[in-house]
Structure 1
């Protein structure tokens, strides 16, 4: 049984349909990449999983429970954390305060989880009392991911984690994603950076204009001529 199953969902913004019959699955322990160009429907798919949007058809099943349309707070309590595009950190609060906000579901193990986040992102511990606005773009992305990990999720949804970062910082972020997965957290990764996403993923899906067009192992997608021509510059 898959940890997460998105089964033939349609999603609309008002009267405008943006996803058609979208399906994907994520098994426990995997990193799965959802790939596509800007505006393809990647973020909408994540929002439909985490409770920000309600599918008009189909189901979102997590641990074999239909969570489609469940409020965001309840989805977090079930064990899913969403790190949205754009980071959305509180710049005037300290790094530690930002991280503590991620533990609002259960604060009993907060200090232990904070220690785990600091192991993954040592720079956050070094600057724990600084205001978040003093961090570089890459460090702010690390903070956003760390805040997501503070709820100790079974499944981490990452939306465009590398967007707008310098190449050296992109490498740092993807190395962190690999560490997070190796430590036992399942990851669903939305990315426009196809090369790096397939480098860290086990499997992937390609979405175009709201419809799934390809799926396969990371190796299969990296070798697919359609992926090479459209996304890898071949």
Structure 2
């Protein structure tokens, strides 16, 4: 079943258009990678799906319902969670307080969801009483993902989850994303780390200068000469 359908969206910041006629879909249970260089429009697309931006043309549907003109606080209760680039955790609150804030739209079953987050990210349980601002960069990213899971989403939007992390932590984060998907959460992943993104994705799309340029299975994109030349150092 198609969970997310992005249909011909144009997006602008004021008078400056940055996305042109972008269409793609995400099927329930998939991990889909949205790839492209810095400035390609990937983050803009995510922000348009989850509410901070509104398309000037086209539409977005989730579970068959149009959400393209909804605000973020209206999108989250429908089952969509956005983990933004830069994490945006509450530095002066504890790890546990940050996680509990992630469940603000859905308090039922909070204890079970908290246990699930701690199972995926044991380091968060070890540091649950610690202020979030004192965590390492990798731990803060784990916290941002864990907080997103606390709303029990059907679809999680991840923006540059590996940005600025040491290689060993990058692998941990991607392994966690893979596990989250295997446990039933659909994932749309925006990444500049193309190798790791295609390692865990089922399919991918490539944005270039705000336009959809390529699409295919993860295996097809990983072996495509155009992808290799532009993003894989080939």
TM-score normalised to structure 2 length = 0.99
For 1:13, the equivalent position in structure 2 comes to: 13
For 1:68-217, what aligned pairs fall within 5 Å after superposition?
A: 68-217=68-217
Distance 1:233 1:65 in 2: 40
Structure 2: runs of 5 or more not aligned: none
Distance 1:139 1:195 in 2: 22
3-state SS in 2 of match to 1:105: coil
For 1:39-78, what aligned pairs fall within 5 Å after superposition?
A: 39-78=39-78
3-state SS in 2 of match to 1:3: strand
Greater than 6 Å deviation, 4+ residue runs: none
Distance 1:73 1:103 in 2: 13
Structure 1: runs of 5 or more not aligned: none
Q: How many angstroms does 1:110 deviate by? A: 1.1
Q: How many angstroms does 1:108 deviate by? A: 2.2
3-state SS in 1 of match to 2:228: helix
For 1:221, the equivalent position in structure 2 comes to: 221
For 1:3, the equivalent position in structure 2 comes to: 3
Q: Deviations over 1:107-164 (max 9, x none)?
A: 1221111011111001101110000112110000000000000000000000000000
User: How many correspondences in the alignment?
Assistant: 234
3-state SS in 1 of match to 2:219: helix
TM-score normalised to structure 1 length = 0.99
Distance 1:113 1:87 in 2: 20
